[in-house]
Structure 1
């Protein structure tokens, strides 16, 4: 079984599965993966997202997601959902239609927001093929 090939943007239980993948396996996914810690610092950024967004991994890793990398997501639709889930100690698994606007022409995407209580690792997944 190739874990990376078998995972889809809509797969159930995706948070736990992503946490077990190597950077090379994350790079083989056909959707963007931005993983970040409890301080919103990006610690995972796959090749799919890097190529689509035009931002190198070295430029993104170690940077705060909602201020330095993707300030267009620093709003009630994305960043606030992570804050609310953390404050409530509840899981987050929401898929939303979104328009990315930073550093590119506006592009419609689906975002999947993932967080689990007890895990500092959180994810924004980006599906561009709609």
Structure 2
């Protein structure tokens, strides 16, 4: 990782996040959820933990779209990751979204990242 922290809008952000250790992930100003090809959460930062009210111990090792955040299990989010994997293509989309699970509705921006050959996929959450 470079000497400056990545931002929500940084180019090649998936690669930058892959290079971050947990302390660096926790220092970011946006939520980070990293998961594998089976949608099992592997990485989870402090910003997202505090905002969502879910501890890393409760989230890491759990399926993202069914156990952690079923409100993301739809064509806007989960399906985009599935389509990119089926096509063997990269995914880098930013969408306006409303989180609704376990909280009052909150408007956010989500950035969906998946490298064609990368092992970790990311949902990034920027709260307004």
In the superposition, the TM-score normalised over structure 2's length comes to 0.97
Alpha-carbon distance, 1:112 to partner:
0.1
Instruction: Give the RMSD, CA atoms, in angstroms.
Output: 1.2
Cross-structure match for 2:60:
61
- In structure 1, how many angstroms separate the alpha carbons of the residues matched to 2:2 and 2:28? 11
Show structure 1 runs of 5+ residues with no match.
none
Cross-structure match for 1:48:
47
Cross-structure match for 2:113:
114
Cross-structure match for 1:83:
82
Alpha-carbon distance, 1:61 to partner:
0.3
Q: 1:2–1:89: structure 2 CA closer, same or farther, 3 Å change rule?
A: closer
1:103 alignment partner, SS class? coil
- In structure 1, how many angstroms separate the alpha carbons of the residues matched to 2:39 and 2:98? 21
- In structure 2, how many angstroms separate the alpha carbons of the residues matched to 1:87 and 1:25? 31
Runs of 4+ in 1 over 2 A off after TM superposition: none
- In structure 1, how many angstroms separate the alpha carbons of the residues matched to 2:61 and 2:89? 26
Alpha-carbon distance, 1:118 to partner:
1.4
In the superposition, the TM-score normalised over structure 1's length comes to 0.95
Matched, 1:36 2:23: no
